[in-house]
Amino acid sequence: MVKKIELISDGNHVRVDIFIASKLEDISRSEIKKYIKEGLLTINGKPTIKPGYELKPNDSISLIIPDKKIDTIIPENIEIDIIYEDSNIMVINKKEGMVVHPGAGNYSGTLVNALLSLRPEIAGVGGEKRPGIVHRLDKDTSGIMVIAKDNKTYLELQKQFSRRIIQKKYILITKGIFNNNAGKINFSIGRSIKNRKKISRRTNKSREALTYYKVIFEKKGFSLVEAMPKTGRTHQIRVHFFESGKPIIGDQLYGSSAKKYFNRLALHAKEIRLIHPVKKQIFCFKTEIPAEFLRFFRNI
């Protein structure tokens, strides 16, 4: 089933592919350019195949998006960093830049592609499209993830996440100095009313979001911070610090001068604490602070 997107331009001299990408969630700009070149775009009722067409205010835009189903996820021999594994769970240190599961614009090279090659027995655990995936990290966030290797474990971990039994700690670098060495950020967030790719406190549908933090180190206007989210909203840590005036450096979505300071999102999931679904013991898994985080402070 195809989908038809209709928009009205609210800017002048903005490329149509950039404008559409800013309004749509889960569709990449490269996909939009492809659809435009295939003749699936009309502007003011006239077909155009130019992704670089510059819009005028109140231009009427119509884009047909073909149905794209992922029928089969192909296992791929991709190296992943396993820090613990038994017959029920696998705990990995996801690298920055790796997408967790296939989706629009990312049909290969994902963590799921790697997992199905390494442990084909997890196929179907928790569903065919996201086998073993109980929680996720953003593409540009590195760090700890726990994978379920059987359905009983999957359901038990899901229950622990929903009941907020599982505790996670992140390490990040912010631009800005804090008034207190520790504190909390507590305001509701949801899909932005201005940009559907973003999360914001300016939203039509907000959800509770709470993050505790502790400042580890500060130098020349930058802070190394540990964050402990008590809720698990999309982009929660990124939005909480951005809208508190302390954006995470390297964040290209929530920061206009992202790469000026750091060539990646300075956010790393460094610790996870859970009750083992079968052994019923508390397990705590940790990773080191990424070397580039510490190198940044040495060099500024």
Q: What is the pLDDT of residues 172-215, one digit of tens each?
A: 999 999 999 999 999 999 999 888 789 999 998 899 999 999 99
Please indicate, yes or no, whether residues 180 and 262 belong to a single structural domain of this protein: yes
Q: Is 86 part of the annotated catalytic residue set?
A: no
**Which domain CATH number covers 36?**
3.10.290.10
Task: Please report which helix (H) or strand (E) contains residue 298, including its range.
Answer: helix 291-299
Give the pLDDT score at 257.
Answer: 60
- Distance between CA 300 and CA 284 in Å, rounded? 33
Phi, psi of 192, rounded to the nearest 5 degrees: -60, 140
Q: At a CB cut-off of 8 Å and minimum separation 6, what does 86 contact? A: none
| Tokens encoding 293 | 């985080």
CA 6 to chain centre: 26
Q: What single letter denotes the amino acid at residue 92?
A: I
**Model confidence, pTM:** 0.76
- Residue 1 scores a pLDDT above 60: no
**Which domain CATH number covers 242?**
3.30.2350.10
- Classify residue 282 by burial, with Cβ atoms within 10 Å: 0-12, 13-18, 19+: exposed
Please indicate, yes or no, whether residues 78 and 41 belong to a single structural domain of this protein: no
Q: Which tens digit of pLDDT belongs to each residue from 3-40? A: 788 899 987 788 999 999 888 866 888 889 888 887 88
Please indicate, yes or no, whether residues 158 and 222 belong to a single structural domain of this protein: no
CB 236 within 8 A of CB 189: yes
Q: Which tens digit of pLDDT belongs to each residue from 122-176? A: 998 987 778 999 999 999 999 999 999 999 999 999 999 999 999 999 999 999 9
Q: Is residue 218 part of a domain?
A: yes
Q: Which tens digit of pLDDT belongs to each residue from 233-243? A: 999 999 999 99
Domain count, the chain: 3
- Distance between CA 129 and CA 147 in Å, rounded? 14
Q: Is residue 280 part of a domain?
A: no
Residue 187: give the domain boundaries: 169-269+295-299
Give the pLDDT score at 261.
Answer: 80
Q: Is residue 108 part of a domain?
A: yes
Give percent of the chain above pLDDT 70: 95
Which one of 103, 130, 163 terminates a domain? 163
CA angle 49/51/55 to nearest 5° reads 105
Which member of 17, 59, 138, 251 is catalytic? 138
- Distance between CA 210 and CA 207 in Å, rounded? 10
